Amino acid sequence: MESIWHKTIQLPQFPQLKGDVSTDVLVIGGGMAGLLCAYQLKKAGVDCVVAERKRIASGITGNTTAKVTCQHGLIYSKLAKKGGLEAAKLYLQANEEALSEYRRLCAENPCDFEEHSHTVYSRQDLHALEEELAVLSKLNYPAELAGGLPLPFPTIGGIRFPRQAQFHPLKFLSGIVGNLTIYENTPVQSLSKTEAVTEHGRIHANAVVVATHFPFLNKHGSYFLKLYQQRSYVLALENAPIPEEMYLDAQENGLSFRSWGDILLLGGGGHRTGKQGGGCA
């Protein structure tokens, strides 16, 4: 089964590392986080190398719904309860800055970038929506409580954010990787402060950025014992109703909606890998 993103564009290929190289910064991981990090470092005049164990964007980046929003569930009321209003404010500021940077970068690298409203909806918990809106009001953010949502099941409403975005992630990456030094099929087998060992060579670096989804080294806190993998799914549907906005269920195992041209991207059904899915009800 192939991602619609991979099916609609061919990313450039990069060589496997053979021999030893030196650089200022080594970035381990060739997904969106690692490649954007390397791009910004290169732009700032810092010499850097990316090491990717397979092909770039072969993991989550190549299979994402590719929504770029400041809205990740009903996060702001949760942050305000746990860390105070200042924590929620800082989270919002960081995400707004990131969204602005995506707007700028996508203007330079054509990638089907579109702005749409984004709504986190609830099927039964109006109180949670009201709590979220109250926090956002205190943050002076122009969110609104939206009703009558055009979804194929009943909801009690949602929190709508204006001017969020969606794009084609691999078209975006193809526009920024051209001047980067990338080694594909180059898994890092061991790592010290200044040296990464791969199958066919070593990378000497003054600093290392680990941009893998999970820690790949089984030491320094034994994080591999504290984390678990989670799986969710996305269907690309033709001849389906196309939403004018983007939608996400406030529940973790709910559904996500966005369009790409005349295709509906329907995501959801998340569950712990190896466990039975709980459905989207």
Q: What is the pLDDT of residue 225?
A: 73
Question: With contact defined as beta carbons under 8 Å apart, do 95 and 122 qualify?
Answer: no
Residue 153 placed within a domain: yes
pLDDT digits (tens, 9 = 90+) for 33-71: 999 999 999 999 999 999 999 999 999 899 999 999 999
81 and 121 assigned to the same domain: yes
How many whole angstroms from its chain centre is CA 43? 22
CATH number at residue 248: 3.30.9
Question: With contact defined as beta carbons under 8 Å apart, do 65 and 34 qualify?
Answer: no
73 and 178 assigned to the same domain: no
Task: Give the domain extent around 163.
Answer: 67-167+228-272
Q: What is the pLDDT of residue 215?
A: 74
The residue among 203, 225, 247 that closes a domain is 225
> Domains in the chain: how many in total?
2
Q: What is the pLDDT of residue 281?
A: 46
**Amino acid at residue number 61:** T
Q: What is the mean pLDDT of each run of 10 residues along the chain (281 residues)?
A: 91 96 97 97 97 94 94 97 97 97 96 97 95 98 96 96 97 95 95 90 95 76 72 88 94 91 88 62 46
76 and 183 assigned to the same domain: no
194 and 119 assigned to the same domain: no
9 and 115 assigned to the same domain: no
Nearest in space to 69 (alpha carbons), one of 141, 149, 174: 141
Residue 279 placed within a domain: no
The residue among 192, 208, 225 that closes a domain is 225
Question: With contact defined as beta carbons under 8 Å apart, do 183 and 30 qualify?
Answer: no
110 and 234 assigned to the same domain: yes
Q: Global pTM?
A: 0.90
